């Protein structure tokens, strides 16, 4: 048997790289299987960017594939191949293969869509699935009968796929090559002459599939029919062996072969015939299983078993078809067997065979082209690629944080997708190209109110009904130092007791910063001021981490009553932010000072003498003990007592005035000398005291009484002139004092009335018995002067503290006082204010019995009265000066001020005239 060799002409196909530049995207093309480093195109030129800017602006090529097929050369600006590109692996069963890239430039960030088209090369040879294929052909088969041959498969596309088939030279068969659709070629074996099995029982043929590439190589699966050229004679050739060869046009050529063994049979010389050789139908995807696609009909001219037809699907080369379809062997109905999905296969080519039951059976073939109609059965798929891990809360509007791509496997309107942000997050989607978006900042961000945003992206297609999908992107907001530390209040008052130990905790200052990490870490310090007169650094210290303020010394209320400083809280951010708080520290008095006896008497340890006449009446003034206490408030409120019980039957002590007076007249049984011990106690807790000893000596006459005034020689005849001088002096002093008082009132009356300050106004009120009182609401002491005590030294120390509960102290004519006070709580004691009042009565008004008064006694008495009046004037002037100062602090309203001033003048004149 002679074999013929077909030589394929090799063609060289040169692919040129084409660059397409539009405003929306950049397009390149590159053949598959090119070497690594092959330049695809110049990005710098197409992006209109200087080559030096590619590196400074951090050019980044982003793709959604597992391999990084392309990279950019920063020195030349070229886009080059970085990985092996196999078109058949990337885009199987597709005509056009494209890779979508994103070229990202920062500072500012610009996104460019880059599309690279992968062109096919003829790199795969046609291949037969079966290396050997057997056909049973009756020797009675007529000339021109077609027989189905196995398909050759070529993974290449277009002109590189299978284009034709070739059969090895023989005298019995030829090939009938058919085109079943776009890029689909089939071949059938045609009988050229009758077969004679007895002469040639077997015939061997070679089938070659040739693609249309340059050089030609193999392509997709193609069917070929074997055509009988002449009748067979089983007696001559019972078996015919043919070789089917697939040869490409390479140099050297490559080929794949399949052996076809033909068994020549007797009888049954008519094969079934279909009404059409090619059927075309349309079906919807997702068609239910068992649904009929088409009912085929074939007829056989034979009779009996040779005309009974059975339908079947060709099993060779259409495995996917067999998985999805089946045929009823009796009726010829093609039924749906699996899931029909447009997105996987948009069309099917079904090869059906009709065989009779003759011996040997004969068959006919047809082809059914099934087009699948798309339904909107696929929701869009959302892919999010984050560009940054966190977003700063001060990020500007328009900052890109992620790339979003949306894909819908459906076609047409079913595949058109629109993406939006569903929730009210401060972000938006900017369209880049088709279904590609950039997620950018669209509003101000605040980490303190929202540390993480869950951006909900919803993609909806335009199908009917429309389908949608949702993707949630967690955007973490990073902190910036935009919040200073904040105190709960701008000013705080702190109360510290004097004599507190060194290192005692005064106050803990706390500031809160809404930022986190270093931006929220707060440190504390004292804010230095040029006006600070106190050595603050030697007095207190602050812990920079905890804000604890501790004392560095023990405070003394008598030296320092209050001081002020500022605390600054600073965070650790860049730049650091800070805020201030003012701290007022008030030192609270402790009873740490004992009363001190004033001259002319000394404290305990020496004896002082006083003399009284034997004729002294009850209430005779003996002496007055004066004492002061360096403390304040209750700790400085002094009381006087006679500690020796022996002196209590003849003398009495003014508990508040310190005056010693006689209780009764002297008797012959009384001693001539009376030792008295005066105890001066304060009202502190615990109470402190001091004592002084006074010996009271009883003399026969007033001439023996030694006073600082009794040694002035005065003549009897000059008494009237002295009284005249004294009267002139009294009138002059009174006139000066009244003028001063009127001027003071005039100044105050012309002052603008203001609202009450933090202290209430001092008030002077009258009483039915002719006495007056001065009260202040911080601690209200009502000092009542009776007719028995004209000489009183009133010293008022206004408090430097906020007001507390009021107190009233009244002193009656019996030298006793009553105190009415609403005791403050412990908290109010810390916030309290104290007013110290000392009373220093000097001498009595007049002796009630002046029958035995001598001229010298008169002179002494008048002199004492003058001194007493002058002292009273000085004390009252000092008193009104202090009242005026207190009133300025308290902003007494004009009406009350005028009433108080009139009351003051009335009582002043009354006491002055007396």
Distance, in Å, from the CA atom of 218 to the CA atom of 123, rounded to the nearest integer, reads: 9
Specify the residue for token string 């039957």: 649
Specify the residue for token string 């209780």: 663
User: In sequence order, what are the beta bridge partners of 236?
Assistant: 197
- Both tokens assigned to 515: 């930022």
Distance, in Å, from the CA atom of 298 to the CA atom of 310, rounded to the nearest integer, reads: 9
Q: Which domain holds residue 538?
A: 486-588
For residue 862, is it within any domain? yes
Distance, in Å, from the CA atom of 404 to the CA atom of 419, rounded to the nearest integer, reads: 9
- Verify that 757 and 658 share a domain, yes or no: no
- Both tokens assigned to 493: 């008052």
Number of domains in the chain: 7
User: In sequence order, what are the beta bridge partners of 769?
Assistant: none
Specify the pLDDT at position 583.
95
CATH number where 39 lies = 2.60.40.60
Distance, in Å, from the CA atom of 502 to the CA atom of 550, rounded to the nearest integer, reads: 8
- One-character DSSP codes across 477-515: EEP-S----EES-SEEEEEEETTPPTT-EEEE--EE-SS
- Residues (pLDDT < 50) of the chain are 1-23, 217-222, 707-718, 752-857, 859-860, 864, 878-879, 882-884, 886-914
Question: C-alpha angle with apex 610: 661 to 703, nearest 5 degrees?
Answer: 100
Specify the pLDDT at position 429.
92
Specify the pLDDT at position 535.
87
| Cβ contacts of 362 within 8 Å, gap of 6 or more | 138, 141, 268, 269, 270, 271, 272, 300, 302, 306, 355, 356
- Verify that 223 and 366 share a domain, yes or no: no
Alpha helix stretches (DSSP H) within 708-777: 719-749
Percent of the chain as helix, strand, coil, to the nearest 5: 15, 40, 45
- Verify that 242 and 283 share a domain, yes or no: no
Specify the pLDDT at position 47.
83
What is the CB-side half-sphere exposure of residue 787 using CA atoms within 13 A?
Answer: 8
Distance, in Å, from the CA atom of 522 to the CA atom of 41, rounded to the nearest integer, reads: 56
**What is the 8-class DSSP label of residue 142?**
P
Cα(first)–Cα(last) distance of the chain, in Å? Answer: 170
Average predicted confidence (pLDDT) for the chain = 76
- Verify that 250 and 311 share a domain, yes or no: no
Q: How many of the other CB atoms lie within 10 Å of CB of 151?
A: 26
What are φ and ψ of residue 777, in 5° steps? Answer: -75, -10
- Residue 137 and residue 148 in contact, taking contact as beta carbons nearer than 8 Å: no
What is the CB-side half-sphere exposure of residue 640 using CA atoms within 13 A?
Answer: 30
For residue 14, is it within any domain? no
Q: How many of the other CB atoms lie within 10 Å of CB of 815?
A: 21
Q: Which residues of 499-536 are buried (b: 16+ CB within 10 A; e: fewer)?
A: ebeeeeebbebebebbbeeebbebbbebeeeeeeeeeb
Specify the pLDDT at position 493.
97
Virtual CA dihedral for 852, 856, 859, 860, nearest 10 degrees? -90
- Residue 581 and residue 569 in contact, taking contact as beta carbons nearer than 8 Å: yes
Distance, in Å, from the CA atom of 612 to the CA atom of 621, rounded to the nearest integer, reads: 9
| Sign of the torsion formed by the C-alpha atoms of 411, 416, 421 and 427 | positive
For residue 462, is it within any domain? yes
Largest CA distance in the chain: 198
Q: Is 24 helix (H, G, I), strand (E, B) or coil?
A: coil
Specify the pLDDT at position 247.
63
Q: Is 162 helix (H, G, I), strand (E, B) or coil?
A: strand
Specify the pLDDT at position 902.
40
For residue 140, is it within any domain? yes
- Verify that 230 and 338 share a domain, yes or no: no
- Residue 567 and residue 522 in contact, taking contact as beta carbons nearer than 8 Å: no
- Both tokens assigned to 362: 């004969």
- Residue 211 and residue 177 in contact, taking contact as beta carbons nearer than 8 Å: no
**What is the 8-class DSSP label of residue 517?**
G
| Cβ contacts of 726 within 8 Å, gap of 6 or more | 862, 866
**Residues, the chain:** 914
For residue 2, is it within any domain? no
Of the three residues 455, 478, 501, the one that is the final residue of a domain is 478
- Verify that 92 and 161 share a domain, yes or no: no
For residue 828, is it within any domain? yes
What are φ and ψ of residue 763, in 5° steps? Answer: -130, 140
Distance, in Å, from the CA atom of 142 to the CA atom of 138, rounded to the nearest integer, reads: 9
Of the three residues 338, 355, 373, the one that is the final residue of a domain is 373
For residue 909, is it within any domain? yes
- Verify that 262 and 279 share a domain, yes or no: no
For residue 778, is it within any domain? yes
- Residue 883 and residue 764 in contact, taking contact as beta carbons nearer than 8 Å: yes
- Verify that 873 and 747 share a domain, yes or no: yes
- Residue 36 and residue 73 in contact, taking contact as beta carbons nearer than 8 Å: no
**What is the 8-class DSSP label of residue 34?**
P
| Cβ contacts of 732 within 8 Å, gap of 6 or more | none
- Verify that 664 and 781 share a domain, yes or no: no
- Verify that 744 and 885 share a domain, yes or no: yes
Distance, in Å, from the CA atom of 688 to the CA atom of 313, rounded to the nearest integer, reads: 125
- Residue 151 and residue 129 in contact, taking contact as beta carbons nearer than 8 Å: yes
Of the three residues 432, 461, 478, the one that is the final residue of a domain is 478
| Cβ contacts of 243 within 8 Å, gap of 6 or more | 3, 168, 204, 205, 206, 207, 257, 258, 259, 260
Distance, in Å, from the CA atom of 720 to the CA atom of 862, rounded to the nearest integer, reads: 11
- Look up the pTM and report it: 0.48
- Verify that 227 and 296 share a domain, yes or no: no
- Verify that 345 and 424 share a domain, yes or no: no
């Amino acid at each position: 048997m002679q074999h013929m060799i077909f030589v394929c002409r090799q063609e060289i196909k040169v692919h040129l790289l084409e660059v397409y530049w539009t405003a929306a995207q950049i397009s390149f093309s590159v053949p598959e299987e090119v070497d690594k480093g092959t330049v695809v195109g110049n990005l710098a030129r197409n992006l209109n960017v200087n080559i030096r800017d590619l590196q400074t602006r951090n050019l980044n090529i982003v793709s959604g594939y597992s391999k990084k097929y392309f990279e950019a050369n920063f020195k030349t600006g070229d886009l080059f191949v970085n990985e092996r590109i196999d078109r058949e692996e990337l885009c199987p069963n597709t005509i056009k293969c494209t890779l979508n890239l994103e070229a990202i430039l920062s500072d500012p960030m610009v996104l460019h869509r880059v599309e690279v088209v992968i062109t096919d090369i003829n790199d795969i040879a046609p291949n037969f699935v079966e290396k050997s294929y057997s056909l049973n052909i009756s020797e009675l088969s007529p000339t021109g009968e077609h027989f189905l041959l196995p398909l050759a498969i070529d993974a290449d596309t277009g002109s590189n796929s299978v284009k034709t088939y070739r059969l090895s030279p023989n005298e019995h068969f030829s090939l009938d090559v058919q085109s079943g659709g776009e890029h689909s070629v089939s071949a059938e074996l045609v009988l050229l002459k009758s077969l004679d099995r007895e002469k040639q029982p077997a015939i061997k043929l070679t089938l070659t599939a040739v693609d249309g590439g340059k050089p030609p190589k193999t392509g997709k699966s193609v069917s070929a029919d074997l055509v009988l050229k002449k009748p067979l004679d089983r007696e001559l050739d019972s078996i015919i062996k043919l070789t089917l060869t697939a040869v490409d046009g390479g140099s050297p050529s490559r080929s794949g072969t399949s052996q076809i063994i033909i068994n020549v049979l007797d009888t049954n010389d008519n094969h079934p015939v279909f009404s059409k050789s090619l059927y075309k139908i349309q079906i919807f995807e997702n068609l239910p299983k068992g649904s009929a696609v088409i009912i085929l009909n074939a007829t056989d001219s034979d009779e009996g078993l040779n005309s009974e037809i059975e339908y079947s699907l060709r099993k060779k080369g259409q495995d996917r078809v067999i998985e999805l379809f089946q045929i009823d062997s009796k009726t010829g109905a093609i039924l749906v067997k699996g899931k029909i999905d447009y997105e996987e296969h948009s069309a099917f080519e079904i090869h059906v065979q009709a065989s009779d039951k003759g011996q040997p059976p004969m068959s006919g073939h047809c082809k059914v082209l099934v087009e699948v109609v798309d339904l909107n059965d696929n929701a869009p798929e959302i892919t999010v690629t984050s560009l940054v891990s966190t977003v700063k809360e001060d990020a500007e509007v328009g900052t890109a944080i992620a790339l979003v791509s949306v894909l819908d496997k459906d076609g047409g309107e079913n595949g058109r997708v629109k993406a939006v942000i569903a929730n009210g997050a401060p972000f938006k989607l900017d369209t880049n190209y088709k279904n590609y978006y950039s997620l950018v900042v669209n509003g101000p961000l605040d980490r303190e109110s929202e540390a993480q945003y869950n951006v909900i992206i919803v993609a909806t297609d335009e199908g009917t009904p429309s389908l949608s999908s949702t993707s949630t992107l967690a955007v973490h907001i990073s902190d910036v130092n935009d919040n200073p530390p904040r105190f709960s209040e701008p000013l705080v008052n702190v109360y510290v007791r004097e004599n507190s130990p060194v290192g005692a905790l005064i106050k803990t200052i706390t500031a809160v910063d809404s930022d986190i990490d270093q931006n929220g870490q707060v440190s504390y310090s004292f804010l230095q001021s040029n006006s600070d007169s106190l050595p603050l650094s030697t007095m207190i210290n602050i812990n920079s981490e905890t804000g604890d303020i501790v004392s560095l010394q023990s405070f003394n209320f008598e030296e320092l009553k209050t001081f002020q400083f500022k605390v600054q809280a600073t965070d650790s951010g860049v730049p650091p932010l800070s805020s201030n708080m003012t701290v007022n520290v008030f030192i609270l008095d402790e009873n740490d000072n004992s009363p001190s006896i004033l001259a002319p008497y000394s404290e305990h340890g020496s004896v002082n003498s006083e003399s009284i006449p034997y004729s002294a009446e009850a209430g005779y003034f003996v002496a007055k003990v004066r004492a002061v206490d360096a403390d304040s408030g209750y700790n400085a409120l002094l009381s006087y007592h006679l500690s020796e019980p022996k002196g209590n039957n003849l003398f009495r002590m003014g508990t508040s005035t310190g005056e010693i007076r006689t209780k009764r007249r002297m008797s012959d049984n009384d001693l001539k000398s009376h030792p008295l011990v005066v105890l001066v106690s304060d009202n502190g807790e615990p109470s402190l005291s001091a004592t002084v000893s006074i010996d009271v000596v009883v003399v026969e006459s007033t001439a023996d009484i030694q006073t600082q005034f009794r040694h002035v020689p005065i003549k009897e005849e000059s008494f009237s002139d002295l009284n005249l001088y004294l009267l002139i002096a009294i009138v002059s002093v009174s006139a000066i004092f009244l003028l001063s008082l009127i001027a003071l009132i005039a100044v105050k009356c012309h002052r603008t009335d203001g609202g009450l300050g933090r202290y209430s106004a001092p008030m002077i009120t009258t009483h039915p018995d002719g006495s007056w009182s001065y009260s202040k609401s911080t601690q209200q002491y009502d000092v009542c002067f009776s007719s028995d005590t004209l000489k009183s030294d009133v010293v008022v120390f206004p408090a430097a503290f906020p007001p507390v509960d009021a107190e009233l102290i009244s002193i009656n004519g019996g030298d006793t006082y009553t105190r009415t006070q609403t005791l403050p709580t412990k908290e109010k004691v810390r916030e309290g204010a104290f007013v110290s009042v000392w009373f220093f009565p000097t001498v009595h008004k007049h002796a009630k019995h002046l029958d035995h008064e001598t001229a010298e006694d008169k002179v002494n008495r008048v002199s004492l009265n003058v001194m007493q009046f002058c002292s009273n004037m000085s004390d009252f002037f000092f008193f009104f000066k202090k009242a005026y100062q207190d009133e300025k602090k308290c902003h007494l309203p004009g009406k009350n001020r005028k009433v108080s001033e009139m009351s003051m003048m009335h009582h002043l004149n009354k006491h002055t005239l007396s």
